[in-house]
Structure 1
């Protein structure tokens, strides 16, 4: 909340993701579609969200860890699963 201010200023979840620098951008090359993260946005907020995600992944029994494992089971790479979280 301290970094974003009033959350109602973002009309959609996508707008917030872009502001936070977590919105995926598709990069298509030679028939393979990949995603990378939006490089703009609030870098300090992005770093805080990254720390929270890594902490959740490393702590078995948390909802974040279970979500990460479910994404791995779906066939995503660890990096893609982390990006989803």
Structure 2
């Protein structure tokens, strides 16, 4: 349990502390007043997080399992090819 909590804290810190640079990023209509707007746009630019669709990110929403896996894979340095290979894994055995 402690390991899961530590991983959650690490992922949260990485999301918050992503370096901010100007560049192409999706325009989300619901982050203009969010204090992490620049980090959200950077993560979108890098293809780490895509938002929920319809031009929205929902920064106060829950991080679903797929998005969490995508962030973890990025942080661990997995390539897109490795991610596609891992996508065949069945978590229910």
Q: For the superposition of Structure 1 and Structure 2, which TM-score range results when normalised by the shorter chain? A: under 0.3
TM-score by length of 1: 0.27
Higher percent of residues as strand:
1
Task: For CA contacts below 8 A with separation 6 or more, give which structure has more relative contact order.
Answer: 2
